[in-house]
Amino acid sequence: MELIIRHDNNQICGDWLKEGLGNEYSFEFKTIPDPGSPEFLNLPEKIKNVLKLDKPDLIISRRVNDRETPIIIIEITHHKPVSQHIEQRMVRVIAAAEQGVAAIYITPELVIGSKKKDGKYVPARWPFNTKHFELMYKIGNINKVPTIFFYYPTKDGIILDDINYPDNPKINTDESKKIFYCLSNLLQETKNINDINFSFLNNKVVNNEFSKQISLAIKKYEINTNANSTHEIVPTKKLKEYLISKKFIDKFPSNKKKNIDWVDKTFDNLPNRIVTREDTLILKPKLNDSRLFNHSGDPYVGMLGSFDYAFCRWGPNIEDRKMNLIFVPQNKDDAVFSKVFANAYNSFYNKKNSPFKKDNLAKIEDQFKVAHHLQYGSTFTKNRPLKIYSHFCDLIVFKDGILVF
């Protein structure tokens, strides 16, 4: 079987995959191109859409009907498996699943080390939270495609990297053998990809690995009802009153009537799908430092994708929600549109070489960049946080205005 392996400028990761899968496959390695480039425009639409929110570590494709067709994405991390680390990569799994592409996510079960406390280093443990099994299963079940966690090999809480492929799982371990056995079964199932009833889940090995995540999810995603929680559920019919009373929207602080009038007119024009959903989930994290765009928007962006599938989504399309998802940033700078958000939003257009400012085709690459932006706008070229906010949010509420999606 001939495979095309795309990686994010990490050939070592591709070589690790080749070693693990063995000799029954042939491999063609390619990098994941940058949006706007001729190479990106040459990608099949399905791969472009897999890349819509972020770049996965690996994309495994086959030629189907003479077209490069993505089959599986792989995410690999050996960082501590705390929730924000797990969730920040989850949008890559979601983007793949929404395109019918299987996803394998490799992360440690437990990392043991030390952390600083009161000026001293003390022993610490970072276990994988099993609630993420539930989330992974929901993503796959809603999109009818396997999305599966596997554990990165460890010994007594110490990461086992492969000596020949640094920062990748040690191949000769029980954990890695399970990974490659599942990958082989996923790939073998694609021999039936043109069948009308094709599904990765027709494969018994794949179906078992995917389905057992339900029993592995000892903990579950739950709405935290504590007073200082980062999230809250509000009846949609009371949402307007809630936002005003909490002063989350306070465009005219010295004129209460004008402020209420602004909110009233905004709510009068909300899409029907938002108004008719019974409840609204409000994500309102409060951090000391601005995080809307710093650190690639994490933990905000990871939480949005995870909360969507954990609580709101019932179907594969973004409108298939039983509950609204709105984002209310609480950091004093993030909370005002005209401060942090506007700067990032405007930065793409304000760049000296922004394709939206071109009035001539002075360079060869200009021909491709202008055409790309005529066809896709900034769908693929805007920064990662903007991609994710605009994909998952029904509303983003700032002190000085509301973005409606």
Which residue ranges in the chain fall short of pLDDT 70? 227, 352
> Over the stretch 78-136, which tens digit does the pLDDT of each residue have?
999 999 899 999 999 999 999 999 999 999 999 999 988 888 899 999 999 999 999 99
132 conformational bin, left if phi > 0, alpha if psi -120 to 50, beta if neither: alpha
**Residue 110 contacts residue 128 (beta carbons within 8 Å):** yes
CA distance 266 to 260: 10
* Residue 231 token pair: 């999230």
pTM, two decimal places: 0.95
Q: Which of 350, 358, 340, 344 is nearest to 399 (CA)?
A: 340
The tokens 């070592």 sit on which residue? 12
> How many CA within 13 A on the CB side of residue 100?
9
- The pLDDT of residue 227 is 64
Please count the other Cβ atoms lying within 10 Å of the Cβ belonging to residue 367.
12
**pLDDT score for 129:** 97
Give CA–CA dist 369/299, Å, rounded: 31
Extents of the domains making up the chain:
2-216, 231-347+381-404
For residue 299, say if its preceding peptide bond is cis, omega within 30 degrees of 0: yes
